[in-house]
């Protein structure tokens, strides 16, 4: 593979960005004592007043205040952040677990809003909109040939519950234009992607973040898997950047016995709060496995630490991110907010898994390259943790603090050493977009195919693989895809299945060649 190492952080930062904006562990709260007047705040107020009244040039003092707040928080820790008004609603919706809209997944395809798939039971699905349809107008707002930002599109399509919007739609497959009036409704944002059986006795649950609705989604999935005969549960926390601590605690409670410690938090004044399991729990016996990787963080690490330290299950994968700080979101009164670190958390054995943060910048969040260069992503023995940070689980096993959760069973990065860039591309949005383009050219033909027939078509017709190679080449990357042709076809097949069928079918296919899942099932 001929690729400059400088590209690796770029792709990792894209993957990490969303997870850590949405995923910091925090408790929503207000703090009336936050704005007590003192000399420093008076100084800041006076400075802003001087600038507004006397500064020679015209400027927006709001931007100065935003910058000042961000600079102050940057002096603290990497997870104390400012959330401007323009971003707060989107973050809040994601963590709340729903929004009001028309219910479509879409791409801006050739500067036209194209539907990837209408959301099941949503307004668009009920109105008969289909994958591949173009939405040209929402009421009188033109949505094509305007280079509209995603946030602008969202603001147009979203609205109040039960409000109506008239859509002008072009259906390419029928070469016709029509209008339809939809009634906006609450659209769930799933935090549990799927709960499926992966063997006769093992169930698999994928959690992408910990939102307000996560526990209910998880509990429903767990109950369904038990009904289907699952006496073993695999919880996939890979790439899960965290979220609400309470949701992670509630899920841990389903596996731990009464009074077993889940997590301890300690604030600035030294006050310690202990959270223990209650009498409830629908899976307190049976095998439990958690899958983690270098992007598993925060609330995900709380859950993993509780399971590991209580010797309740096995942690499989690679060392997690290492975030042991708790944030509280505090509104600033103008629609913006700060997310301030107010405590540290400790796993049941007493360890802090927070990694050092002297460097609070890009290197802190993009540690992937450092772990890649040290070989840690391929060999467990390359993981470097201070021997002084030893702790013991309930049964006396040695575990370590100071930099993430170290798995009980190590599974290296997928693909051979040197193939990392290809694997990142296959798991990124590039494949999604490519598949949508292929479907858009001949959607009718694929719609009539079964899952196995689609696989045969992709394997036997070289045009798809060659088209993907050309797409990579046009993007400026030089990768030897021929050596990984089977892997490319596998991910391409999975993406076709996701866009044409269901998430369940997608995961059933993808997990068949998942190294971590197969490691668990082979035991």
DSSP letters spanning 327-350: EEEEE-SSS-EEEEEEEEEE-TTS
Q: How many CB atoms lie within 10 A of CB 246?
A: 16
> pLDDT tens per residue, the chain (523 residues)?
444 444 444 443 433 343 444 444 444 433 444 444 567 677 777 877 887 787 777 777 777 778 888 888 888 889 999 998 888 888 888 888 889 999 999 989 889 999 999 999 999 999 999 999 999 999 999 999 998 888 888 889 999 999 999 999 999 889 999 999 999 999 999 999 999 999 999 999 999 999 999 999 999 999 999 999 999 999 999 999 999 999 999 999 999 999 999 999 999 999 999 999 999 899 999 999 999 999 999 999 999 999 999 999 999 999 999 999 999 998 888 888 989 999 999 999 999 999 988 877 777 888 888 888 888 999 998 888 766 689 999 999 999 998 899 999 999 987 666 667 777 788 778 899 999 999 999 898 998 899 999 999 999 999 999 999 998 888 877 788 888 899 999 999 999 999 999 999 999 999 999 999 999 999 7
Residues contacting 391, CB < 8 A, separation 6+: 309, 347, 349, 350, 351, 398, 399, 400, 401
Rounded Cα distance between 18 and 258, Å, is 35
Burial of 286 (0-12, 13-18, 19+ CB in 10 A): middle
Of the candidates 24, 298, 300, 349, the residue annotated as catalytic is 298
Annotate 284-312 with DSSP letters as a single string.
SSSEEEEEE-TT--THHHHHHHHHHHTT-
List C-alpha distances in Å: 340 to 62, 333, 450.
21, 15, 51
Tokens of 285: 């016996």
- CA dihedral sign, ordered 291, 401, 282, 96: negative
Q: How many CB atoms lie within 10 A of CB 379?
A: 11
List C-alpha distances in Å: 381 to 54, 386, 410, 515, 523.
62, 13, 10, 19, 22
Tokens of 195: 């709960």
pTM of the model: 0.87
pLDDT at position 219 is 98
pLDDT at position 416 is 67
133: phi then psi, degrees, rounded to nearest 5: -65, 145
Beta-sheet pairing, 261-267 with 192-197: unpaired
pLDDT at position 5 is 43
Of the candidates 323, 336, 349, 514, the residue annotated as catalytic is 323
In sequence order, what are the beta bridge partners of 176?
171
298 tagged catalytic: yes
175 tagged catalytic: no
In sequence order, what are the beta bridge partners of 339?
81, 329
Nearest Cα residue to 341 out of 21, 89, 27 = 27
Cβ atoms 105, 117 nearer than 8 A: yes
H/E segment holding residue 142: strand 141-142
Of the candidates 133, 239, 253, 309, the residue annotated as catalytic is 309
Beta-sheet pairing, 202-207 with 232-236: parallel
206 tagged catalytic: no
Rounded Cα distance between 426 and 490, Å, is 10
Nearest Cα residue to 507 out of 229, 219, 195 = 195
Cβ atoms 344, 352 nearer than 8 A: yes
Rounded Cα distance between 49 and 46, Å, is 5
């Amino acid at each position: 593979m001929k690729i400059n190492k400088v590209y690796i952080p770029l792709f990792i930062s894209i993957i990490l960005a969303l997870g850590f904006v949405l995923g910091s562990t925090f408790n929503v709260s207000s703090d009336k004592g936050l704005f007590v007047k003192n000399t420093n705040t008076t100084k800041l107020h006076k400075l802003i007043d001087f600038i507004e009244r006397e500064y020679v040039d015209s400027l927006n003092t709001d931007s100065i205040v935003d910058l000042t707040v961000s600079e102050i928080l940057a002096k603290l820790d990497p997870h104390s952040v400012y959330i401007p008004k323009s971003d707060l609603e989107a973050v809040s919706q994601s963590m709340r677990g729903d929004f009001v809209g028309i219910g479509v997944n879409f791409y801006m395809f050739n500067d036209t809003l194209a539907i990837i798939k209408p959301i099941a039971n949503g307004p668009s699905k009920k109105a008969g909109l289909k994958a591949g349809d173009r939405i040209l107008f929402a009421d009188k707002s033109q949505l094509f040939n305007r280079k509209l930002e995603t946030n602008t599109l969202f603001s147009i399509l979203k609205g109040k519950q039960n409000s109506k919007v008239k859509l002008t739609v072009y259906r390419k497959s029928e070469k016709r234009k029509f209008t339809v009036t939809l009634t906006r409704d609450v659209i769930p944002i799933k935090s549990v992607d799927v709960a499926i059986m992966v063997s006769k006795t093992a169930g698999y649950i994928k959690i992408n973040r910990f939102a307000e609705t996560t526990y209910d989604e998880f509990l429903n999935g767990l109950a369904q898997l038990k009904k289907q005969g699952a006496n073993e549960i695999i919880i996939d926390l890979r790439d899960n950047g965290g979220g609400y601590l309470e949701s992670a605690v509630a899920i841990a409670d389903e596996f731990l016995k009464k009074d077993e410690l889940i997590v301890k938090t300690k604030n600035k004044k030294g006050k310690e709060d202990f959270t223990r399991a209650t009498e409830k729990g629908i899976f307190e016996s049976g095998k439990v496995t958690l899958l983690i990787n270098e992007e598993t963080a925060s609330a995900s690490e709380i859950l993993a630490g509780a399971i590991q330290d209580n010797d309740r299950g096995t942690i499989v994968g690679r060392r997690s991110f290492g975030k042991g700080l708790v944030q509280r979101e505090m509104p600033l009164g103008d629609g913006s907010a700060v997310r301030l670190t107010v405590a540290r958390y400790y796993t049941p054995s007493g360890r802090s898994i927070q990694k050092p943060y002297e460097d609070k910048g890009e290197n802190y969040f993009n540690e992937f390259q450092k772990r890649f260069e040290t070989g840690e992503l391929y060999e467990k023995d390359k993981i470097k943790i201070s021997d002084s940070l030893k702790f013991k689980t309930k049964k006396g096993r040695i575990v370590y603090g100071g930099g993430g959760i170290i798995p009980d069973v190590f599974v290296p990065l997928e693909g051979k050493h040197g193939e990392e860039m290809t694997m990142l591309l296959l798991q990124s949005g590039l494949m999604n977009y490519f598949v949508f383009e292929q479907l858009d050219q001949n959607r009718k033909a694929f719609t009539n195919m079964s899952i196995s027939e689609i696989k045969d078509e992709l394997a036997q017709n070289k045009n798809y693989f060659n088209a993907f190679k050309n797409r990579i080449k046009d993007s400026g990357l030089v990768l030897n895809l021929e050596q990984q042709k089977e892997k490319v076809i596998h991910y391409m097949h999975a993406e076709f299945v996701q866009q044409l069928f269901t998430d369940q079918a997608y995961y059933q296919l993808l997990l068949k060649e998942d190294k971590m899942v197969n490691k668990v099932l082979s035991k």
